[in-house]
């Protein structure tokens, strides 16, 4: 009987085990998991801290007993695989409960070890009050600390998804919460100018945020901690949650001589096969290709891990199956705000020297005349000149997830902006507009590529010349203009433009803006058809102000 051993459970290992059994009833399948649960919802851990998920048992997706009863898969909990002998096709295992070591042979080995949380350096004694949030046991320790009143002020260190979700749920639980991030922004998949709504949402819900705040010393102070900032200022707290990132748990594979990538992940081919034909690897520990650019990447997400597990299981069972890359589609709820991204961001596009451009705009989640309409801030990157969609970032409320998913499908299908204009999406006033924001993105990009309009961006506005060599035009209403305008811009409302063309000098380029970019687009069309050279501010003065707030 063919024997398949699986190292690690959760999204990768547990999914692979179930898939293997559905494909082949004659396999012997054994899962080795060093933790206390073979399959649990680690994405749900923060929400049990706040009580949004009321029962701990709700996080347990499958038990050791359940795996055996339904799939005849043997699960060995609290058993850690410590070595791989590739020549003998065997593994060394440590039973953590009994304290004994033993050996098991395999025909195929599947590695799903996941990641290891990065932990900050601490002085002696301080580490007792510093916790990651990766396992059920981590969650239990945090809940115990805030339940018994030990932790009344918690600092969350980091700026990724785990850190933000931890901060949100601690605040929801009534705990004084400070979020500390060493870099200038949160959420790495997002470009910095997009994040002002997120910062506002955190602050308005009681999370104190400190960006560009490296912590250089963590020491014990009585029953709590003292965090020393790089500028010498101190932060006192009762507990520290480390959300400063993860590293691929690839040491076992590396020690066995398997190929390891530059980012520390296990190198696999499109079949999820390692450099050893009898060993496969899936999940957060593997190095894969980023879908848009086809460059090596390390992307830790549950969805890709699940798909990789199915593909590895297929290939072990002789079914040709390939993994085509990860595009990094991700989403997070932060109190009442949703932030979602898919594909690459602008910093990636720049670093790879891609030929690209971008559009910013605000799209309504449903028809503006229907009660409760809210705007989403949207940024879309596209390839020049093809118009292929490269990435999208969205921040909003209801409906943000839907548009992000449509962009994700568009990227996977390698659709262009023109393709977006042709999408026939569901419409009723409660859910969308007749021209959905996804369609709008396609129309905006198509207009640019066809030369119907030229644009400049928020980061160009402050560099426009004020020496009279160009005409700077604000086409908003008088009320908007008197409430604040960019330096050097003269006021000429768009609805008066046709009658006042004679006031403008055709020998000078015109740079104009409105509040959101719609009226300035209309103005640009009027002017360009009357012989003027004109460029309008993409996203309008509204986005310019948002970007300034985000970068303060």
Instruction: List active site positions.
Output: 43
Tokens of 73: 């898969």
Q: How far apart (Å, rounded) are the C-alpha atoms in residues 50 and 382?
A: 39
- State how beta strands 534-537 and 510-513 pair: parallel
Residue 140 CB neighbour total at 10 angstroms: 15
Tokens of 133: 């949030």
Greatest distance between any 2 Cα atoms in the chain: 90
Q: How far apart (Å, rounded) are the C-alpha atoms in residues 180 and 279?
A: 40
- Say which residue the tokens 């705007």 belong to: 375
Q: Taking the alpha carbons of 48, 54, 55, 60 in that order, is the dihedral positive or negative?
A: negative
Tokens of 277: 């034909």
Cβ pair 456, 473 in contact under 8 A: no
Tokens of 200: 């506002």
Cα–Cα distances in angstroms (integers) from residue 527 to residues 47, 436, 473, 511, in the given order: 53, 27, 12, 11
Q: How far apart (Å, rounded) are the C-alpha atoms in residues 64 and 71?
A: 11
541, 546, 551, 552: CA torsion to nearest 10: 90
Q: What is the 3-state secondary structure (H, E, C) of 42-62?
A: HHHHHHHHCCCCCCHHHHEEE
Tokens of 359: 């559009």
Residues 6+ apart with CB under 8 A from 193: 458, 459, 543, 546, 547, 550, 551
Q: What is the CA radius of gyration of the chain?
A: 27
Q: What is the 3-state secondary structure (H, E, C) of 4-28?
A: EEEECCHHHHHHHHHHHHHHCCCCE
SS3 state at 389: strand
Q: How far apart (Å, rounded) are the C-alpha atoms in residues 386 and 415?
A: 10
Cα–Cα distances in angstroms (integers) from residue 531 to residues 99, 508, 526, 528, in the given order: 83, 11, 9, 5
Q: What is the 3-state secondary structure (H, E, C) of 435-455?
A: CCHHHHHHHHHHHHHCCCCCE
Tokens of 123: 């002085």
Q: Which residue in 423, 422, 429, 369 sits closest to 399, CA to CA?
A: 429
């Amino acid at each position: 009987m063919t024997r398949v051993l699986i190292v690690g459970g959760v999204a990768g290992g547990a999914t692979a085990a179930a898939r293997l059994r559905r494909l082949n009833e004659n396999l012997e399948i054994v899962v080795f998991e060093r933790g206390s649960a073979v399959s649990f919802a680690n994405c749900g851990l923060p929400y049990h801290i706040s009580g949004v998920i009321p029962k701990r048992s709700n996080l347990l997706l499958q038990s050791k007993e359940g795996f055996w009863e339904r799939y005849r898969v043997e699960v060995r909990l609290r058993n850690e695989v410590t070595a791989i002998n590739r020549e003998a096709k065997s593994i060394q295992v440590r039973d953590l409960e009994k304290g004994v070591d033993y050996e098991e042979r395999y025909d195929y080995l599947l590695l799903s070890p996941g990641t290891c949380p990065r932990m900050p350096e601490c002085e002696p004694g301080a580490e007792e009050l510093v916790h990651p949030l990766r396992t059920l046991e981590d969650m239990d320790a945090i809940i115990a600390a805030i339940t018994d009143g030990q932790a009344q002020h918690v600092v969350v260190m980091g700026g990724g998804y785990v850190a933000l979700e931890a901060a949100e749920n601690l605040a929801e639980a009534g705990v004084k919460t400070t979020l500390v991030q060493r870099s200038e922004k949160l959420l790495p998949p997002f470009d910095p100018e997009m994040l002002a709504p997120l910062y506002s949402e955190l602050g308005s819900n009681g999370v104190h945020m400190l960006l560009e705040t490296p912590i250089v010393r963590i020491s014990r102070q009585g029953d709590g901690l003292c965090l020393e900032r790089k500028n010498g200022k101190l932060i006192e707290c009762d507990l520290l949650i480390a959300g400063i990132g993860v590293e691929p748990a690839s040491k076992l594979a590396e020690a066995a001589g398997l190929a390891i990538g530059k980012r520390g992940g296990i190198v696999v081919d499109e079949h999820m096969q390692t450099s050893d034909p009898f060993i496969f690897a899936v999940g957060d520990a593997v190095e894969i290709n980023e879908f848009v650019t086809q460059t090596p990447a390390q992307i830790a997400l549950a969805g890709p891990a699940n798909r990789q597990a199915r593909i590895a299981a297929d290939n072990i069972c002789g079914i040709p199956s390939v993994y085509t890359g990860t595009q990094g589609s991700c989403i997070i709820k932060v109190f009442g705000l949703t932030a979602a991204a898919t594909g690459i961001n602008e910093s990636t596009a720049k670093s790879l020297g891609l030929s690209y451009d971008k559009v910013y705009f605000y799209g309504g989640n449903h028809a503006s005349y229907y009660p409760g309409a809210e705007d989403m801030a949207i940024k879309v990157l596209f390839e020049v000149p093809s118009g292929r969609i490269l990435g999208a970032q969205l921040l909003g409320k209801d409906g943000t997830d839907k548009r992000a998913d449509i962009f994700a499908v568009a990227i996977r299908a390698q659709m262009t902006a023109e393709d977006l204009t042709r999408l026939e999406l569901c419409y009723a006033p409660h859910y969308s507009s007749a021209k959905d924001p996804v369609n709008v993105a396609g129309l905006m990009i198509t207009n640019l590529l066809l030369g119907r309009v030229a644009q400049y961006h928020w980061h160009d506005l402050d560099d426009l010349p004020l020496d009279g060599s160009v005409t700077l035009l604000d086409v908003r209403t008088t009320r908007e203009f008197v409430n604040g305008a960019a330096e050097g811009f003269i006021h000429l409302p768009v609805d008066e433009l046709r009658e006042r063309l004679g006031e403008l000098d055709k020998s000078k380029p015109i740079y104009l803006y409105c509040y959101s970019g719609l009226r300035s687009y209309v103005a640009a069309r009027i002017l360009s058809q009357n012989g003027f050279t004109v460029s309008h501010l993409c996203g309008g003065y509204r986005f310019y102000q948002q970007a300034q707030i985000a970068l303060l």
